[in-house]
Amino acid sequence: MPYLNPQYVEVDAPMAPPAWAVMQWELLRAQSRACRQFFEHYFDDRGYLECIPRWGGNDGPDDAIENLVHWPVLYVLGGDENLRDMCDLAWEGHLKQYTEAKTTEVPFARDGMYYREFPVMFDWVHNGEGLTTFNLHGLMNPREKNFEKRVRRYAGFYMGDDPQAPNYDPEHKIIRSLFNGSRGPMLRKATALDWAGDPLDEVQERFIPLHGERNFEEMLAHFKDYTDVIGDHPQNLVATSLGLNAYALTGESQYKEWALEYAEAWRQRTLQNGGIIPTNIGLDGTIGGACDGKWYGGCYGWAFTVEVPQTGAMASRNTHHLGLSGFGNALLLSGQQEYVDVWRQMIDTINSHGKEIDGQMMYPYMHGDEGWYEYRPHPYAQGALEVYYWSMERDDLKRLDAQNGWIGFLEGQAPSYPEAALQADFSRVRAQMEKVRTDPTTPDTRLSDNPNPFNPATPGALVQQMVGGLTPRHGCPLHARVRYFDPVAGRPGMPEGVGALVEKLEADSMTVTLVNTDPTASRDVVIQAGAYAEHQFTGVRIDGRETAIGDTSLGVHLAPGAGATLEIDMERYVNAPTFASPWDR
């Protein structure tokens, strides 16, 4: 019996399946098969990755589970049930494998690289990568075994009330170190060994290090300048995804309040720092307080340009942009656009320091003791797509290419985008599986990150086209205008064979075409307003017929071979985010 909400519309007009609709489903099926082959090649029946388990910033625990990045997204779109099963098995295996794995030289992981089912102590470049699948598990199945316990425990590590993990200082509203986790913050200088992991023999002879090091000495040299970890850094804002998870699952206010408190503290610091997010906050809460007052200081800071040991070249590794995820989480939790405004203002402030060099306008990307540096020909635009997507302000389009690709299609400028993007993804899946087939590594010569470049999950075009969303990365949530549920199968995702093409997005409306490609059987689909029901539908128009709505979901019955274009009116960011399915609300 399909789920029937107060507005359940009928679509019975015949529609010949557009090429994009057929291709979407063939791509979903192909990726589901490819992921199964990938899993069988690299994981055992316990969910352990068949590799040499090591601690470290190059080939550590985070890379092991990151081999399944995007798999939850494929399932949420309508991919095979096996995707969820493999994610569940791999997560359980991952936690056991890296709790059992211990270091000999790195001091804080000698009793296990994981403690209480979480990294003992590392930065959020790597913590975030390690949570790219788990942070989306609630969209697949929020009732899975142990999920609530883990969600509460993980969030609790960052709320200041866990005596074993005193990461958060509620007085100064800081996470006290770049290194943090289930055993708390690192409050000393980090060493290259802390980052690189235990010594490794036969580096070039036995392994294929993806960062190009030829021996362990070069692995240490890679991290020789990664010492200044005391104090807060914007990348710690990724931890607010844990608060979002806990709030979306339980509805308990303390998780929302903590995430908003922490994000707001960073917004205020950015405003106090002339509109530029600082990359070090001292233990006393002052900007630059752990780096001699330098707002641009610290590991992964605005001035963090280091030497590549193999070549002697200099590389800039500023990860301030990871802080954007925290502001996105704050928007989901509060509906307040001020969290978007601060990032927009930062983009414009940075670009205001552009200057003409050798007859060409150039824009800075780094800042050190001598001021702005590393000028490039393109304006600074990190986060520009998110700013536009979250605000839907027309003026924000100026920072994007509105002629080509997805944005161009939404603007009516790139009509060939849907098929072209899907064709490109078919090609990528084929190329990825060819890499798997020709991979020379074996379990005793494989590092945890070796399979990462071969992962066949390629959901980008599907996310854009089907749900009008942004592909999650680095432990971030799914930002989507809509999400689908199959009320007959009782699972998230589009019913098999139903294609969806989001054709237009505006601040208070969207246009999406739905088509049932099966000419012999009807389909029922429930459309949800937002990935977490954070939006609200107010009305829908189909072929001139208007139906008023006042709900977070809308049921659609599609006759065999039928399709229609739905113009949906909506209010954005007006509801509390939740993992609950439409039939559970």
CA 371 vs CA 323, 364, 367: distances in Å: 22, 10, 5
Residue 2 has pLDDT above 60, yes or no: no
Crossing angle, helix 19-42 and helix 417-438, to 10 degrees? 20
CA distance 531 to 462: 14
501 lies in some domain: yes
Beta strands (DSSP E) in 393-497 are 469-470, 479-480, 482-486, 491-492
367-418 tens-digit pLDDT? 999 999 999 999 999 999 999 999 999 999 999 998 999 999 999 999 999 9
- One-letter amino acid of 294: K
pLDDT of residue 5: 57
Per-residue pLDDT averaged across 94-113, rounded? 98
Contact 227, 189 (CB under 8 A): yes
pLDDT of residue 3: 52
143-165 tens-digit pLDDT? 998 999 999 999 999 999 999 99
3-state SS string over 306-366?
Answer: EECCCCCCEEECCCHHHHHHHHHHHHHHHCCCHHHHHHHHHHHHHHCCCEEECCEEEEEEE
pLDDT of residue 585: 85
Phi–psi pair at 227, nearest 5 degrees: -100, -35
547 lies in some domain: yes
Q: Is 401 left (phi over 0), alpha (psi -120 to 50) or beta?
A: beta
Give me the domain span that covers residue 506.
Answer: 481-584
72 lies in some domain: no
575 lies in some domain: yes
* Percent of the chain predicted with pLDDT > 90: 97
pLDDT of residue 1: 39
pLDDT of residue 8: 87
Q: Do you know the residue count of the chain?
A: 585
Closest CA to 90 of 50, 121, 127: 50
Contact 446, 50 (CB under 8 A): yes
List strands edge to edge, sheet with 509-516. Answer: 498-506, 509-516, 563-571, 536-542, 545-551
Residue 431 has pLDDT above 60, yes or no: yes
Closest CA to 62 of 73, 72, 74, 53: 53
pLDDT of residue 171: 98
Look at the pTM and tell me if it is higher than 0.95: yes
73 lies in some domain: no
Closest CA to 527 of 563, 562, 493: 493
pLDDT of residue 7: 79
Pairing mode of beta strands 8-11, 168-169: unpaired
Per-residue pLDDT averaged across 262-279, rounded? 98
* Percent of the chain predicted with pLDDT > 70: 99
Q: What is the CATH number of the domain that holds 494?
A: 2.60.40.1180
Read off the pLDDT band of 6 (50, 70, 90): low
Per-residue pLDDT averaged across 430-455, rounded? 98
- One-letter amino acid of 41: H
- One-letter amino acid of 51: C
CA distance 28 to 77: 8
441 lies in some domain: no
539-574 tens-digit pLDDT? 999 999 999 999 999 999 999 999 999 999 999 999
pLDDT of residue 281: 98
186-223 tens-digit pLDDT? 999 999 999 999 999 999 999 999 999 999 999 999 99
Q: Is 571 left (phi over 0), alpha (psi -120 to 50) or beta?
A: beta
494 lies in some domain: yes
520 lies in some domain: yes
CA 544 vs CA 6, 524, 529, 540, 558: distances in Å: 20, 21, 21, 10, 17
Tell the burial category of 171 from Cβ atoms under 10 Å away from its Cβ (0-12, 13-18, 19+). Answer: exposed
DSSP per-residue codes, 400-415: S--SSHHHHHHTTS-T
Per-residue pLDDT averaged across 433-460, rounded? 98
DSSP per-residue codes, 21-74: HHHHHHHHHHHHHHHHHHHHHHB-TTS-BSS----SSSSSHHHHHHTTTTHHHH
Number of compact structural domains in the chain: 1
